[in-house]
Amino acid sequence: MTVHIALDAMGGDQGPEVLVAGAVAAVDERADLEVTLLGDESCILDSLRRHDLAPGDRLHVVHTTEVVGMDESPFEAVRKKKDASVVVAFQLQKQGKVGAVVSAGNSGATLAAAIRSLGRLQNIARPGIAGVFPTLKGPVVMMDVGANVDCRPQHLFQFGIMAAAFAEVLFGTKRPRIGLLSIGEEGGKGNVLVKKSHELFSQSPLNYIGNVEGRDTFQGDVDVIVCDGFVGNVCLKLSEGLAEAMIAMLREEISKNFKSKLGYVLSRDAFASFRKRVDYAEYGGAPLLGLNGTGIVCHGRSNATAIKNAIAVAAQMVSQNVNEHLLQLLKKAGGVSPSADEADAAGEGA
């Protein structure tokens, strides 16, 4: 069965060119895929022409006249700009015309548009953003990485369930090991939020392995790391900044003399593989979980590979029905009891 994805062609720092290239690569790679590009029609058509392409059976264009900027207030922008590419994209999903939306634009606005059009999944108090990190072994899913900055224990508990469902379906991880991000491995360690969340996880049938620390993130011995959106967003950006700084420092040291430069030339393939391993683009964006639908936010600096991979992940989430799986796990884990007042302020944050 064909999966149909909407791509916000106006999101991201690089302009439509890169986004269109990502969409073209995605339909090239997967025969059961259709992509609708939303944004300025003439821009998109220009970009398609550079690939010797025009809209057709598997690539469609929907013209929109507004764009949400990276620094705009998410909720306000989404409310006011009814013809913004990202807003229309989620409207198409609501109407059943596409199965998922991918955007490299303002991630807060993407989540806000998603919640406005699709709503929350039944019994989910707060949808959030899951981040996928490379580790020495497989990938690890961290949630929330920026949607919900002030959380309650029940929210963290649901983040764990949602991220576990995603890891099970996308990476085939059986009974994902769930860890709670804290500052010590003993259950008694952490702030008030973490201590209370620890109790919820401990009493659940989930494969909860207890507190994990920042240094465990990249070892690959945990599949899901749970934290609030403030801590998660700091972790996400800190990791990105450190990885870049380390690569810059290494490059600086290597270029200091001829011998080490020569050495670098010989090791170039190894460096390329290394960079690929730590490159966010390989993971294709961060899924929005907890929606009554499917969305993925990509890094503003996403290249065509990142967009292609994000579209592939979105297609997989739709065809393998992550949300159905999520609801089953939620029921099994006893996560279905947020009081109504907890379903507030979803999407606040980055």
Applying CB under 8 A, which residues contact a second copy?
Answer: 71, 135-136, 146, 149-150, 181-184, 186, 189-192, 194, 213-219, 227-231, 233-246, 248-250, 253-254, 256-257, 259-260, 262-271, 273-274, 277-278, 349-350
Sequence-ordered alpha helix ranges (H) in 203-290: 229-254, 258-266, 268-277
Q: Which is nearer to a second copy, 16 or 128 (CB)?
A: 128
Can you state the angle between helices 16-29 and 304-319, rounded to 10 degrees?
50
Q: How many CB atoms lie within 10 A of CB 255?
A: 11
Taking the complex as a whole, the smallest distance from the CB of residue 190 to a second copy amounts, in Å, to 7
Under DSSP, the state recorded for 128 is E
Name the minimum Å distance from CB 236 to a second copy.
7
Give min distance, CB of 273 to a second copy, in A. 5
For residue 63, the cross-strand partners are: 39
**What is the closest distance, in whole angstroms, from the C-beta atom of residue 289 to a second copy in the complex?**
18
Q: How far is the CB of 195 from a second copy (least distance, A)?
A: 9
Cβ proximity to a second copy: between 191 and 320 the closer is 191
Q: DSSP strand E in the chain: where?
A: 3-8, 33-39, 59-63, 100-103, 128-133, 140-143, 178-181, 208-212, 224-226, 286-289, 295-297
Q: Which is nearer to a second copy, 94 or 189 (CB)?
A: 189
CB 68 within 8 A of CB 77: yes
For the CB of residue 338, give the shortest distance to a second copy in the complex, in Å.
20
Residues whose CB falls within 8 Å of the CB of residue 330, separated by 6 or more in sequence, listed in order: 123, 124, 158, 161, 162, 165, 336
Cβ closest to a second copy, residue 40 vs residue 342: 342
Burial state string for 82-102 with b = 16 or more CB within 10 A and e = fewer than 16? eebbbbbbbbbbbeeebbbbb
Cα–Cα distance, 346 to 244 (Å, whole number):
31
Q: Give the residue with the Cβ less far from a second copy, 93 or 211.
A: 211
Q: Which is nearer to a second copy, 95 or 273 (CB)?
A: 273
Work out how close the CB of 248 gets to a second copy at its nearest, in angstroms, rounded to a whole number.
Answer: 6
CB of 146 to a second copy, least distance (A): 6
Question: Would you tell me the crossing angle of helices 192-202 and 153-171 to the nearest 10 degrees?
Answer: 60
**166 vs 280 by CB, closer to a second copy:** 280
Query: In a 10 Å sphere around its CB, with 0-12 CB exposed, 13-18 middle and 19+ buried, how is residue 343 labelled?
Result: middle
**Which lies closer to a second copy via its Cβ, residue 94 or residue 218?**
218
Q: What is the DSSP letter of 75?
A: H
Select 96 or 188, whichever has its Cβ closest to a second copy: 188
CB of 156 to a second copy, least distance (A): 13
Sign of CA dihedral 289, 192, 217, 305: positive
Could you tell me the sign of the dihedral formed by the alpha carbons of 31, 86, 346, 13, in that order?
positive
Contact by Cβ (8 Å): 306, 298: yes
